[in-house]
A and B are shown apart, each in its own frame.
Chain A
């Protein structure tokens, strides 16, 4: 419980003040890793789940990576923006309700004050909260390297459990979300057993009604496949359809059939599959009619 128990094989802890400085350190120190909130990486290094890097590059002091900017309805969230900062932004909550809820229903306040949106995406945990919510809003990530920047659709960013398409020397700098369609509503729901739990199943949905039919629609699920993913077959079923009880039930069944969950210590494959369908049906009920299911 003192410094004596600290496993200390990290050679250096850098605190650059600009992103370019951070990128230069990452280039010059092979194996150096960027760290944002530290809520996962520092624990994993200490308990040996991840090897200790020769250097950590703290991004906490890089102002250009922090904060939410909204321009004409398009939202840019800096990678170091914490869950608490996301939750506190009223305009973001209005434009991106699913993202607001996913950030609010996230650990305890201590974690929300430290955990960042960039860390949540780069960790690429299958059960992370933010990816499904961001996926239904069509988010992209901005990846910066020395002398270069590229923008990648979030669907292509997370490629496997714990794996992203980030290249050596690249840092996730921001998440961008296009201006939502007029009338777009979104929501996020998940199953947990107890407070502080990770999601056993999470579902986000976004719908813009076109008169009595569903116009634009996106549905995404987390913790039920190797990566968070959009449910294209469900979206196809819904697009242009009238959201009656039968349609929503079929959407739930299609979602449950289309995911690929695992059984583990936290939940069984069949339970996760079942709850995916329940959440999809209830999320759509909430967004289309405001209570077809009675539990919206």
Chain B
């Protein structure tokens, strides 16, 4: 029987805009590689079975559960985690600001996955109705907020994004 180290093979992919090269075991999940060798612990492990969405990441722009994705399948892919979502200058994105200001986050464990899934929604649909938001976040469970503030935060962020980056900063209360 081969050991994990023997079986690990090189893996290279683009993580939040930077090329990374690591080694991954055959059974490694994308989640393991992100949190382990890549040191990006923003992506959380909740259920480990694809039910809760805490580990949501984007692979080539599509939101998937990193706990169900074989690490070796992202060879050459573009992977975006919560660490890669910002306003372009390293500050929080419109979604992140809206989650903070509108109470879309409490304990915070589901929040990275929520924001990644919401990012995928807004990329495809800049002006989602509340039902669109609930549908897009159906795979993301939150045990704190009751979801009302989350939906409101996504709606607010969508409006801010549509209005442009300056308006988004104003919506979050920062000086423009």
Residues of chain B contacted by A39 (CB below 8 angstroms): 50, 65, 68
Q: Across the interface, name the chain B residue whose C-beta is closest to A37.
A: B68
Q: Across the interface, name the chain B residue whose C-beta is closest to A44.
A: B49
Q: How far is A114 from B49 in the complex, measured between Cα atoms in Å? A: 13
Q: How far is A195 from B37 in the complex, measured between Cα atoms in Å? A: 34
Q: How far is A6 from B37 in the complex, measured between Cα atoms in Å? A: 14
A3 touches B36 (CB 8 A): yes
Query: With A2-B32, A113-B62 given, is the CB distance from A11 to B117 under 8 Å?
Result: no
Q: Across the interface, name the chain A residue whose C-beta is closest to B75.
A: A15
B35 touches A1 (CB 8 A): yes
B86 CB–A CB distance under 8 Å: no
A110 touches B64 (CB 8 A): yes
Residues of chain B contacted by A60 (CB below 8 angstroms): 73
B31 to chain A, nearest CB (A): 8
Q: How far is A60 from B73 in the complex, measured between Cα atoms in Å? A: 7
A214 CB–B CB distance under 8 Å: no
Residues of chain B contacted by A45 (CB below 8 angstroms): 27
A8 touches B4 (CB 8 A): yes
B142 to chain A, nearest CB (A): 12
A110 touches B50 (CB 8 A): yes
Q: How far is A250 from B29 in the complex, measured between Cα atoms in Å? A: 51
Number of A-B contacts (CB under 8 A): 114
A46 CB–B CB distance under 8 Å: yes
Interface stretch (choices B99-107, B132-140, B159-167): B132-140
Residues of chain A contacted by B140 (CB below 8 angstroms): 108
Provide the A28-61 mask, 1 if CB < 8 A to any CB of B, else 0: 0000000101110011011100001001101011
Query: With A110-B64, A196-B138 given, is the CB distance from A58 to B56 under 8 Å?
Result: no
Residues of chain B contacted by A2 (CB below 8 angstroms): 32, 35-36
A63 to chain B, nearest CB (A): 14
A207 to chain B, nearest CB (A): 28
Q: Is the interface of A mostly helix, strand, loop or mixed?
A: loop
Residues of chain A contacted by B117 (CB below 8 angstroms): 109-110
Query: With A8-B27, A56-B26, A110-B139 given, is the CB distance from A84 to B73 under 8 Å?
Result: no
Residues of chain B contacted by A3 (CB below 8 angstroms): 4, 25, 28, 32-33, 36-37
A43 touches B27 (CB 8 A): no
B138 touches A108 (CB 8 A): yes
Query: With A1-B35, A6-B27, A9-B1 given, is the CB distance from A114 to B136 under 8 Å?
Result: no
B26 touches A8 (CB 8 A): yes
B50 touches A15 (CB 8 A): no
Q: How far is A144 from B37 in the complex, measured between Cα atoms in Å? A: 38
Residues of chain B contacted by A13 (CB below 8 angstroms): 9, 26-27, 70, 72
A12 CB–B CB distance under 8 Å: yes
Residues of chain A contacted by B137 (CB below 8 angstroms): 108
A41 to chain B, nearest CB (A): 10
B53 CB–A CB distance under 8 Å: yes
B7 touches A11 (CB 8 A): yes
B131 CB–A CB distance under 8 Å: no
Q: How far is A8 from B36 in the complex, measured between Cα atoms in Å? A: 15
A7 CB–B CB distance under 8 Å: yes
A11 touches B2 (CB 8 A): yes
B128 to chain A, nearest CB (A): 12
Q: How far is A11 from B25 in the complex, measured between Cα atoms in Å? A: 9
Q: How far is A52 from B25 in the complex, measured between Cα atoms in Å? A: 14
Complex partner residue of B69 from A7, A10, A38, CB under 8 angstroms: A38
A107 CB–B CB distance under 8 Å: yes
Provide the A192-222 mask, 1 if CB < 8 A to any CB of B, else 0: 0001100000000000000000000000000
Write the residues of chain A forming the contact surface with B, with a CB cutoff of 8 angstroms: 1-3, 6-13, 15, 35, 37-39, 42-43, 45-47, 52, 55-56, 58, 60-61, 84, 107-111, 113-114, 195-196
- 11 pairs of residues in contact across A and B, judged by CB atoms under 8 Å: A3-B32, A6-B32, A8-B25, A13-B9, A15-B75, A39-B50, A39-B65, A43-B68, A108-B140, A109-B120, A196-B51
- 14 other contacts beyond A15-B72, A108-B140, with CB at 8 A cut-off? A2-B35, A8-B4, A10-B7, A10-B26, A39-B50, A39-B68, A42-B70, A52-B27, A58-B70, A107-B139, A110-B139, A111-B50, A113-B64, A114-B64
